[in-house]
Amino acid sequence: MCTLAQKWSKITADNFFTSIPLVDDLLTNVVTLCSNKPHLHDAIKASNNREVHSSLFGFNAQMTLMSYVPGPNKSVVALSSMHHDVSVAEQVHKPEINLHYNATKSGMDNLDHLSTMYTTRRKVNRWPVVLFGNCINVGAVAAFIIWQVNFP
């Protein structure tokens, strides 16, 4: 893997295709995880006996696993290769990993919104057609952003 890409790229991903081995391979910065992943310990998942606004941290040589409880029976699980401490913002009682994820996830949310509002896809069950439609959607959003930068 290229070391320059590791230095310059910062990736924030959502939890759909994310797993601990994938983060280990890519060394992405902050991702969220579904709590039903087989790699997670039961203590990380949501439970009745965890206090609201409490955080649990797990450390590896290159990754930090964080579990935050925003409300009763809810749990936010995030994995970061950028943060290596248990820093929690005192004003909002949220871990720094969670605050960083919330600050940087807007690009993916905006791409999802634009590609669903203005889509070229059709409802089909054939994955090559779905993949091609997604590529066209992402390319159209990228072309629109480039056009807006060049002609404000």
Same domain, 78 and 143: no
To the nearest 10°, report the CA torsion of 135, 136, 139, 143.
180
Kindly provide the b/e burial profile for residues 12-45, where b requires at least 16 CB atoms within 10 angstroms of the residue's own CB. bbebeebbbeebeebebbbbbbebeeeebeeebe
Number of independent structural domains in the chain: 2
Per-residue model confidence (pLDDT) at position 5: 45
Same domain, 96 and 66: yes
Task: State yes or no: pLDDT of 10 exceeds 70.
Answer: no
* Eight-state DSSP code of residue 125: S
* pTM, 2 dp: 0.62
According to DSSP, the β-strands at 64-68 and 55-59 are antiparallel
Q: What is the pLDDT of residues 90-112, one digit of tens each?
A: 888 888 888 888 887 777 778 77
Same domain, 111 and 100: no
Contact, 67 vs 77, CB < 8 A? yes
What would you measure as the largest C-alpha separation in the chain, in angstroms?
56
Same domain, 94 and 126: no
